[in-house]
Amino acid sequence: MSTAKSERHTAAPESLAAPRGSGPQGEVGKTHGPQIELAGIERIFRLGDSVVRALSGIDLAIDAGEYLSVMGPSGSGKSTLLNVLGLLDSPSAGHYRLEGRDVTTLSANEQARVRSQRIGFVFQSFHLVPRLTAAENIALPMMLAGIAPGERAPRVEKALADFGLTDRARHRPDELSGGQRQRVAIARATVMRPAMLLADEPTGNLDRATGEEVMRLLEDLHDGGVTLIMVTHDQALGDRAHRKIYMEDGAIRRDSGRGAGQGD
């Protein structure tokens, strides 16, 4: 566990609140009913003669603006579910509708566009590019999306200020503390103003005090309208969510209920 010092909490900026449905009818971004609908999702891996059923018959509906934790033992399918939700992995069977559109039918390029525009990711190990500065890491999603440098620069500058990183703009990841690295990662995840934020053990590499700062920052983003879905082994962190899902053997065993606690 990292021994990085606790750092000053910086409230999430209003500008990073999730945009409401804004696309033409039928496109991702226009919500009719739940934001997320999974029906009969299966994920099967074949390892030699062995068959591993990582996800089994997942049916799940999540409304826009929910704060949901996914818990369960190692190997229960938590991270696989998060990867499917984030379009980082494709199900072996079943359908995934995001904001009214079946994204399992999209091409790889179309899924990448949806991922870039609508989904943000925060990982335990930060996943920052080592050779890029904090500012360059934050700018990366906009560069990949083809946003012009003239628009990128002020958005990066604002993100650095909003997340308390202005004086670390030119520092590379190995020159930052654990808490600073995770703040850069969250700034990068939200600079495209996604509607959904997926967090996989976001405090796993942080000491408790710094982890608390990161959790408050994520919860501020949720309060601004972002759907927050978090995988965690930490029962105390999981209990902070308004809705809790418990997984075992690739299946959802308990669900505290759709829409639970929204706006609390």
How do residues 181-210 score in pLDDT, each as one tens digit?
999 999 999 999 999 999 999 998 888 898
Is residue 176, in this structure, part of any structural domain at all? Answer: yes
In a domain, 6, yes or no: no
11 found inside a domain: no
Between 12 and 192, the higher pLDDT residue: 192
Question: Can you state the angle between helices 178-190 and 134-144, rounded to 10 degrees?
Answer: 20
For helices 178-190 and 149-162, give the axis angle rounded to 10 degrees.
Answer: 140
Residue 14 lies in a domain: no
For residue 229, the enclosing domain spans: 22-255
Q: Indicate whether 7 pLDDT > 50.
A: no
Taking alpha carbons only, the member of 117, 88, 39 closest to residue 231 is: 88
Strand locations in the chain (E): 36-47, 50-62, 67-71, 93-98, 101-102, 119-123, 196-200, 227-231, 243-248, 251-255
Domain count, the chain: 1
Would residue 7 count as lying in a domain? no
Domain membership of residue 16 (yes or no) is no
Torsion sign over Cα 181, 184, 188, 189: positive
Q: For 151-185, write each residue's pLDDT tens digit.
A: 999 999 999 999 999 999 999 999 999 999 999 99
Work out the burial of residue 24: count CB atoms within 10 Å of its CB; fewer than 13 is exposed, 13-18 middle, 19 or more buried.
Answer: exposed
DSSP letter for 63, please: -
Residue 96 has pLDDT above 60, yes or no: yes
Quick one: average pLDDT of 133-137?
97
Q: How confident is the model at residue 124 (pLDDT cuts 50, 70, 90)?
A: confident
CATH code assigned at 105: 3.40.50.300
pTM tops 0.85, yes or no: no
User: Domain for residue 2, yes or no?
Assistant: no
Range with lowest mean pLDDT among 8-12, 26-30, 105-109, 172-176? 8-12
Dist CA 72 CA 198 (whole Å): 17
pLDDT over threshold 90, residue 24: no
Is the residue at 185 inside a domain? yes
pLDDT of residue 47: 86
What mean pLDDT, rounded, does the chain reach?
Answer: 87
67-71: strand order across its sheet: 119-123, 196-200, 227-231, 67-71, 243-248, 251-255
The answer to whether 63 and 258 have CB atoms below 8 angstroms apart is: yes
